[in-house]
Structure 1
Amino acid sequence: MIKSVAIQGVKGSFHHIVSQDYFGENMQVNECLSFDDTVDALLSRKTEAAIMALENSIAGSIIPNYALIDNNSLHIVGEYYLDIQHHLMALPNQAIEAIKEVHSHPMALLQCKTFLKNYPHIKLVEAKDTAEVAKRISKQKIKGIAAIASKLASQLFDLTILAESIQTIKHNETRFAIVKRSNSEIPKEEINKASVKFELDHKRGSLATILNVMSDCKLNLTKIQSLPKIETPWLYAFFVDVTFENYSDFEKAKSIMKIMATHFKILGEYKNAKH
């Protein structure tokens, strides 16, 4: 049983909500201001696990986080999908008309763009973390500034919600990875999803061939993300998520892909949270 988990952001952030839902409300959280700090907390053994957002149903992949997991040889041991509801909040007894600025994470501002267009007098200011803004407003008693954050943040920092669920697309989901220093402890028969990374030569049909191998081995491709190799122009690394019914099918595909691709690497084997 792990004792602490590193999260990007402060208590009240969406990463904090995932830590409570996944590990329980009594889990000790190590607050980090960036994903680099989150990984450092794990590598320096200040914590036994980390939670990292990987993709959002509206904004797409958070590509630097795939690279952080890969470059630091970390392992995805689980995943969690969280319904993201953005709320506009400020100190009590203020009308929305009295708000001069809204501070939040760039992704949150982007996801609430349509709502914010209705208030052209409000200046939008980017911040590192949604909940950190809420905490600062509360601590410093800042009037005239609102945060976009979770309902938990409003409760923790005694802020009033001025408008609920202001994100443009109401069904807004983020996929989070649970990351550890070593690979999963889950028995093989319970594993039905994997994240892998490989590189391919810049030859016609090389990607199509490897995707056919996955299909022939009964793997379902749920995600493919390319990342350019900075030191080698026009060479790409591919991050791929696959699901499967039987682990033996994945083992078969794995043995073929190791031969076909260069630098084949397993980033994680775990339970499919959407199963």
Structure 2
Amino acid sequence: MSIKIMELKTILQKLRNKINKIDELILELLFKRRKIAIKIAKKKIINKFPIKDKNREQELLKKLINFGKKLKLSKKYIQEIFNIIIHDSIEIQKKIKIEKKNNNDNNQLEIACIGPKGSYSYIAAIKYMKKYKKNYFIKKYNNFEDIFNSIKKNKFNYAIIPIENNYSGFIPEVYKLLIKKNIKIIGDFYLPIQHCVLTKPNIIFKDIKKIYSHNQAFKQCSNFIKKFHYLKIKYTNSTSEAMKIISTSNKNNIAAIGDKNNSKFYKLNVILENISNQINNKTRFLILNNYDINKINSQKKNITLILKTKQILLFYIIQILYTNKIEIIKLKLNSYHKNQIKEIIYLEIEIKKEKKIKKILKILEEKDIIIKNLGSYSRLNISK
């Protein structure tokens, strides 16, 4: 090796050492910046100030861009770096806000669900909160879109959302929102569902001409509906909305499909019981939040991923999981042809070793697979 090459290598190493020291200094400064952001968050929470301040962000970027010009740094370079730093600061502050809410036992926890009082989601929310929390308030929404939008705005602590039924399968709207929105699953549980025909007092079944309920309830009772095909079907946003319509109507020829235990909320009579297609009918509910803050201990945990692929890679993904002995709990595939994405895969797998999961994710990322992690969580046991 010539003396010139040796000298060049020595010079390069010295320069690289300088860069390493600068990089370490940058990380130390970012750490200090985070600590200050945490202090700011605590002050904002106490004084009930909003976490995000667009004017402050724009003003900061403008000053940094002007300062960067003096250092001969491009506008795009500064924007890209500080957009990441500012986003990190906002996310840290949001997380602190939620954790402060959840850790304060004196605060009344808010939990969101679909439907008026007496819906299956409402009952699921009560059962969850009674088992795991002390003080709660249920916030009722009319549709899933509003709940998901409110999650991002931190309008409540938790949301209880039905995701699938063991007979009718996934709820399409919820499935699409899980793909579209950035949320975290912090737990899930099953709730037995006992569909019944409900009416006002002193009404008999042969008088019924029209029946109200949610789309999912009709699917789960499709055999019953076919048997009495003359009944007119009316769809509602929830089973509890159907019960409310019956209880407030002057008509005596209408009924609702709903749960026996929930009929008491609307003073309705059960005239036919257990009309579900499946005897062991049950619905799976997800517990959602902005962050993975699950603190319930469990030997088993699941992780839910949304995988977006630019090639047809389903078989390859299954093969990778099988080779690494990763158990697939749930898999749903959607063909997709937009923005070069060909497949969207909803995947639930069981976690046994965190290192192995990290290894799998790295392999998938190397295949140019876009991965959205919806969170790792425990399966909860909430009895009827």
Give the TM-score normalised by structure 1. Answer: 0.89
- The counterpart of 2:198, out of the listed 79, 89, 100, is 89
Kept after mapping to 1: 8 A contact 2:310/2:341: no
- The counterpart of 2:375, out of the listed 262, 268, 272, is 268
Residues of 1 paired with 2:329 and 2:298: CA distance?
Answer: 20
- The counterpart of 2:315, out of the listed 201, 208, 215, is 208
Q: Structure 1 residue 187: deviation in Å?
A: 8.0
After TM superposition, which residue ranges in structure 1, 4 or more long, deviate above 4 angstroms? 187-191
| Match runs of 1:233-248 below 5 Å | 235-248=342-355
- The counterpart of 2:158, out of the listed 49, 52, 72, is 49
- The counterpart of 2:288, out of the listed 166, 172, 179, is 179
Q: Structure 1 residue 150: deviation in Å?
A: 1.2
Q: Structure 1 residue 179: deviation in Å?
A: 0.6
CA RMSD of aligned residues (A): 2.3
Residues of 2 paired with 1:230 and 1:54: CA distance?
Answer: 25
Task: Indicate whether 1:21 and 2:130 are aligned.
Answer: no
Residues of 1 paired with 2:335 and 2:236: CA distance?
Answer: 28
**Which residue number in structure 2 is paired with residue 160 of structure 1?**
269
The secondary structure found in structure 2 opposite 1:195 is strand
**Which residue number in structure 2 is paired with residue 33 of structure 1?**
142
Distance 1:113 1:78, change over 3 A: same
Q: Structure 1 residue 191: deviation in Å?
A: 5.9
Kept after mapping to 2: 8 A contact 1:186/1:270: no
**Which residue number in structure 2 is paired with residue 231 of structure 1?**
338
Identity score, percent: 25
Distance 1:45 1:140, change over 3 A: farther
Q: Structure 1 residue 270: deviation in Å?
A: 0.4
Distance 1:169 1:223, change over 3 A: same
Task: Indicate whether 1:12 and 2:118 are aligned.
Answer: yes
More strand by share: 1
More helix by share: 2
Residues of 2 paired with 1:261 and 1:211: CA distance?
Answer: 16
For 1:267, give the aligned amino acid: L
The secondary structure found in structure 1 opposite 2:379 is coil
Residues of 2 paired with 1:93 and 1:197: CA distance?
Answer: 51
Per chain length, whose mean CA-contact separation is higher, i.e. which structure has more relative contact order (CA < 8 Å, sep 6+)?
A: 1
The secondary structure found in structure 1 opposite 2:126 is helix
- The counterpart of 2:365, out of the listed 255, 258, 266, is 258
The secondary structure found in structure 2 opposite 1:6 is strand
